Structure 1
Amino acid sequence: MTIMGLGKTGLFSDVNPLCIHVIKAKSLARTLSQEKRSEYAEKLLTLVKVAKDKAANHPRHEKLDVSYRATFGKSEFFSPEQYEAILRVRSILDRIGISGVRQLAEVAAIRSLIPASRLIRRGDLRFKREAEERRGTENFIEAFSASLELIANDLQELTPSDGSIHQVGMSALENRYDDNIDAIITSPPYLNGTNYFRNTKVELWFLGYLNSKADLSAFREQAVTAGINDVTKGKSNRRDGRFESRKLDEIVREIAECAYDQRIPAMVRTYFNDMHEALRPAFAALTEHGRVCIDIGDSVYGGVHVPTDQLIVEIGERLGFKLKDDVTLRERMSRNGRKLRQSLIVLEKPSKGRVERISTRSRWQSFRTNLPHRKPGMAARNWGNKLHSLCSYQGKLKPAIASSLVDIFVGDDGSMLDPFSGVGTIAFEASLRGAASFALEISPSAFRISHAKLSRQSRSDIEDVLEKLEAFLSDYRASDFEMERALQIRFNKTLDEYFHPRTLNEILGARKFMALNDCSSPAVSFVHAALQHILHGNRPYALSRRSHPLTPYAPTGPFEYRSLMERLRAKIERSLDVDIGDRFREGHVWQMDATDPWPGEINNIDAVITSPPFFDSTRFYLGNWMRLWFSGWEAEDFRIQPQKYIDERQKTGFDVYEPIIRQSRERLKPGGFLVFHLGESKKCDMAEEIEKIAQPFFRTFDVFSESVEHCEKHGLRDKGSVTAHQYLVLQS
């Protein structure tokens, strides 16, 4: 913020989403015009009235409640009254339409959480002791309101700044800012046992970054190891980037001989390995004679002195820096009476340097040159494993393209994520090779198909589902209310114009059966996917009158009864006969918005490969309207839910991709790849727009376009305005 105040451009890096959120809110406040600051201040003051007078009328945030239980278990950080107020304020914040106002209001909320809790910060976050409890706690609504008023007042008094700051990952420095940064000023975590994520866990939960206990562990995995709870086997056993030092070896040996917990010597060792990896990209990023200024303090463990400042100087000199200055800022005493000091280390880059990366460029260049998915064999419409056709789906990426991208960037034993999974094409190709595959999908219909493909199926489990479904349908009769709700779905035609009445009754029964059954069951998802496939089409397998297998165009032909169970069993039998091979590795898929915080299980992966909805092209919720209805959508959902989908959100700006790009950077291995398969049209160059958003996090490995004007339309009348497919390849 000081850099901004000076009217200069700065970068910042942090792995704690809470810190990032606060920094971005402060930055936003400094860059707003006088008019906007007045507008935002007024809206924050209006929010004070809403919080005080109407909070009790707002619904509690059920998702936040569920994540609390999953993350913190039975721990009660708040009184029931305060907890309910927090859940309702979260719902209020989610309804704020202006993102900047919401961002500032969230800062007001998170600064009010601990004062309204049973916790207290005394170095670490802990429960209050009895004497501290007697002093009482603040009322959350009152604290939140006071914080809103404080921020509103600050907005009015702020002086606008011409400066700017941008977030960047440390490893991205050497790729995007070679020899361009004048100075790096930082105060890294001290080696003092503090668990910084544990200390901010309540705020991280409120912001939506903690949905399970695993999420907290995943964040600690990314952080510099400064506390014993940050020590993991993965970090301790890592050989890449290990800092080798005789002085450090001797210190670790001495601590190991007297430590009450053997995680302490491992923590000390890993701390300096992490600091080596953090400082390494700084050398390449700095200009000649650029400087790194580090505020740091030394430590004592078991009576053994750890000269953190000296060891960091040693790390710097190994990387090519020269020590320019070492200034004592203050002195303090350890518990055993040892004199310690806080110091400012100044390192200087004496000459230009660069760290070279090994890449997959040769394989990528071969793909660019040969475009194998357009050659005989791979160009065939039904190329690839037959399970790709478990359910026809408009807008599905060609499996041949997915196969090539997985081969290049993941390999057989790697790991990958597709945050726009659709029907699981990319993740399924990775699973077929034995790679670890992860997928996110917001659509309930596509999620079921992805889940079915990424699971190794059991015939007996599927037969059990089929028998239960058949028994359910045997005496099912749709109520007047159910039929009325179904007939409210009107796109090409109403539902009753697609099916014989008996067939429609069976479909309504199957829809209800699926809604009542466990969506986490692979067998249920497999049956659900098969049902989606046979809903509509132009062949005898379909339940509808003659339509189209990809999108349900207005039907033609006679109304004739078509047995649901008969066609479903035939479809499932064909699909179960498909061989997925011995190497197949089950994947993991979550039904969620890719812009929300990702599950903690997704970490340290080789690649993120994805094909998001193309700009001004297929609207998936319309092309797949009948399958979405079958998966639970009602008429009102078709008005409300699309506003949450990237298809619609990207029309107002591509900054919607920022959380996806940022989280990709956080979850990728060093040197990992983020690969976008995009659509180019006369209205929009998606690669160019997304590349701008990615600049603070990634370097551009390559961009190229492949004309698709020659492509088959599969009988569809309108496939959008896309004239070329783009490949945007980014490297961390």
Structure 2
Amino acid sequence: LRGHRALGVELLPPAALAARVKTRFELSPGRLEAAVRRWVARARRRAPGPLPFLRETLRQFSAPTLGDLTRLRDALPPPDRPEAEALRLLFGSVLIPASRLHRSPCLGYRRRPVDDGPDPFERVEAAAGAMARDLEAVARDRPRWGPPAVVQEGDARTAVLPKGRIDLAITSPPYVNGMDYVMNYKLDLAWLGYANSYADLAELRRREVACDNLPRSDPGLAAGSRTDLDPWLPPILREIRTNVARKGSYRRDDMDSIVYRYFADLVPVLENVRRSLRPRARWIVVVGDSLLAGTYVPGDLLLARMARRRGFRILGIEVARVRRSGQRRSFA
């Protein structure tokens, strides 16, 4: 919106889809609404289709809602035009509201029974109206638009970025053991066809920054005893090992290896972004701290220290929000 050229890299397919759609300011509200009408009309004429592979699908939705969702899914056009991708995003946006689930921020079942509310057709039409209004609002700033943004579906650790040409980089990596994004977005992945089996979900999870759902057989966990990332890390890993052993029962007895793997996974991101930045460019990183097995892990400070060792200069650390989690706010 300020006339700049923008490039994005995102590994999670539904998030990459959202980024592509939400940066296509040139999409006509009228063409979008016409595409929605055609899509809904096709869906209403269809018979219900097959369910996705997720084992709990029948628990996640009522039978009438499931029928409507399969009809809408099967009526989606191929994602070869901007309007078609917008329809896919609209469909994905109604999955959780139409279900018995909620995100707050992790995916889970609602504690109290709820009725279905508006049917999926009504939800899609309401979401399309909101998207059209957003496009109309953005169009008022058309003289300030820059070139169309480019969003790559890929890994920021290995993505090919233009060397020495980026003025500003912004990212928010997963927090230390913060969230299983594959599990949290499994409905989007399955219903939109990005995953067709649990093996597909496992492969996507394997490619992401480490969290505690990694299989114990993952070869990257064998490096958990290395101490070359930052001098602060070894005592943190030792304390995690000690606390896990003392507890006797914890969700992972190799949590120290998970934490090491997390920071090791971020090193290629640091190096790739460093190569892409112009001299005196800025990189803004949004990341948080964690409390694991009673051990405080200052993820923000550790990442800043690792960045400094790789040629970055730290201009400041700002606390964006204070969480009521009982975690300490200082580390020495």
Q: What is the letter of the counterpart of residue 44 of structure 1?
A: V
Deviation at 1:201, TM superposition (A): 0.7
Matches of residues 575-724 of structure 1 in structure 2 within 5 Å? none
Counterpart position of 1:20: 16
Q: What is the letter of the counterpart of residue 286 of structure 2?
A: D
Of 125, 128, 132, which residue of structure 2 is paired with 1:152?
Answer: 132
- What is the CA–CA distance in structure 1 between the aligned matches of 2:146 and 2:49, rounded to whole Å? 38
- TM-score (norm: length of structure 2): 0.85
Q: Deviations over 1:474-530 (max 9, x none)?
A: xxxxxxxxxxxxxxxxxxxxxxxxxxxxxxxxxxxxxxxxxxxxxxxxxxxxxxxxx
Q: 1:7, 1:164 within 8 Å by CA — same for their partners in 2?
A: no
Of 71, 77, 87, which residue of structure 1 is paired with 2:70?
Answer: 87
Q: What is the letter of the counterpart of residue 76 of structure 1?
A: R
Deviation at 1:327, TM superposition (A): 2.2
Matches of residues 87-486 of structure 1 in structure 2 within 5 Å? 87-94=70-77, 99-129=81-111, 131=112, 133-134=113-114, 136-159=116-139, 160=142, 161-168=145-152, 169=154, 170-171=156-157, 176-225=161-210, 227-230=211-214, 232=216, 233-237=218-222, 244-259=229-244, 260=250, 261-334=252-325, 337-340=326-329
Q: What is the letter of the counterpart of residue 42 of structure 1?
A: A
Q: 2:171, 2:284 within 8 Å by CA — same for their partners in 1?
A: yes
- What is the CA–CA distance in structure 1 between the aligned matches of 2:319 and 2:125, rounded to whole Å? 42
- What is the CA–CA distance in structure 2 between the aligned matches of 1:146 and 1:243, rounded to whole Å? 52
- What is the CA–CA distance in structure 2 between the aligned matches of 1:111 and 1:148, rounded to whole Å? 10
Deviation at 1:192, TM superposition (A): 4.5
- What is the CA–CA distance in structure 1 between the aligned matches of 2:32 and 2:183, rounded to whole Å? 32
Question: What value does the CA root-mean-square deviation take over the aligned residues?
Answer: 2.6
- What is the CA–CA distance in structure 1 between the aligned matches of 2:270 and 2:256, rounded to whole Å? 22
Distance 1:206 1:100, change over 3 A: same
Of 31, 40, 45, which residue of structure 2 is paired with 1:39?
Answer: 31
Matches of residues 484-563 of structure 1 in structure 2 within 5 Å? none
Q: What is the letter of the counterpart of residue 58 of structure 1?
A: R
Q: 2:290, 2:327 within 8 Å by CA — same for their partners in 1?
A: no
Q: 2:107, 2:184 within 8 Å by CA — same for their partners in 1?
A: yes
Counterpart position of 1:659: none
- What is the CA–CA distance in structure 2 between the aligned matches of 1:42 and 1:27, rounded to whole Å? 20
Q: 1:243, 1:315 within 8 Å by CA — same for their partners in 2?
A: no
Q: Deviations over 1:589-640 (max 9, x none)?
A: xxxxxxxxxxxxxxxxxxxxxxxxxxxxxxxxxxxxxxxxxxxxxxxxxxxx
Query: Counterpart of 1:72 in 2: which secondary structure?
Result: coil
Counterpart position of 1:635: none
Number of residue pairs matched? 316
- What is the CA–CA distance in structure 1 between the aligned matches of 2:118 and 2:258, rounded to whole Å? 37
Q: Deviations over 1:210-257 (max 9, x none)?
A: 1110111111111112x3114552231359x98533321110111111
Distance 1:162 1:294, change over 3 A: closer
Q: What is the letter of the counterpart of residue 193 of structure 2?
A: G
Deviation at 1:200, TM superposition (A): 0.7
- What is the CA–CA distance in structure 2 between the aligned matches of 1:124 and 1:6, rounded to whole Å? 33
Q: 1:8, 1:164 within 8 Å by CA — same for their partners in 2?
A: no
Q: Deviations over 1:376-423 (max 9, x none)?
A: xxxxxxxxxxxxxxxxxxxxxxxxxxxxxxxxxxxxxxxxxxxxxxxx
- What is the CA–CA distance in structure 2 between the aligned matches of 1:338 and 1:327, rounded to whole Å? 17
Relative to its length, the structure with more strand (as a share) is 1
Query: Counterpart of 2:48 in 1: which secondary structure?
Result: coil
Q: 1:181, 1:286 within 8 Å by CA — same for their partners in 2?
A: yes
Deviation at 1:338, TM superposition (A): 3.2
Query: Counterpart of 2:320 in 1: which secondary structure?
Result: strand
- What is the CA–CA distance in structure 1 between the aligned matches of 2:219 and 2:278, rounded to whole Å? 34
Deviation at 1:287, TM superposition (A): 1.1
Bigger CA radius of gyration: 1
- What is the CA–CA distance in structure 2 between the aligned matches of 1:43 and 1:209, rounded to whole Å? 22
Distance 1:208 1:254, change over 3 A: same
Distance 1:74 1:82, change over 3 A: closer
- Runs of 5+ unmatched residues, structure 1: 342-732
Query: Counterpart of 2:315 in 1: which secondary structure?
Result: strand
- What is the CA–CA distance in structure 2 between the aligned matches of 1:294 and 1:107, rounded to whole Å? 26
- Runs of 5+ unmatched residues, structure 2: 245-249
Q: 1:120, 1:126 within 8 Å by CA — same for their partners in 2?
A: yes
Structure of higher RCO (CA pairs closer than 8 Å, 6+ residues apart): 2
Deviation at 1:279, TM superposition (A): 1.2
Query: Counterpart of 2:87 in 1: which secondary structure?
Result: helix
- Percent identity (aligned): 26
- What is the CA–CA distance in structure 2 between the aligned matches of 1:142 and 1:243, rounded to whole Å? 55
- What is the CA–CA distance in structure 2 between the aligned matches of 1:206 and 1:288, rounded to whole Å? 44
- What is the CA–CA distance in structure 2 between the aligned matches of 1:230 and 1:75, rounded to whole Å? 27
Q: 1:231, 1:263 within 8 Å by CA — same for their partners in 2?
A: no
Q: 1:243, 1:273 within 8 Å by CA — same for their partners in 2?
A: no
- What is the CA–CA distance in structure 2 between the aligned matches of 1:309 and 1:80, rounded to whole Å? 45
Q: What is the letter of the counterpart of residue 23 of structure 1?
A: A
- What is the CA–CA distance in structure 1 between the aligned matches of 2:304 and 2:11, rounded to whole Å? 24
Counterpart position of 2:247: none
- What is the CA–CA distance in structure 1 between the aligned matches of 2:307 and 2:79, rounded to whole Å? 47
- TM-score (norm: length of structure 1): 0.41
Q: Does 1:72 align with 2:55?
A: yes
Deviation at 1:163, TM superposition (A): 3.1
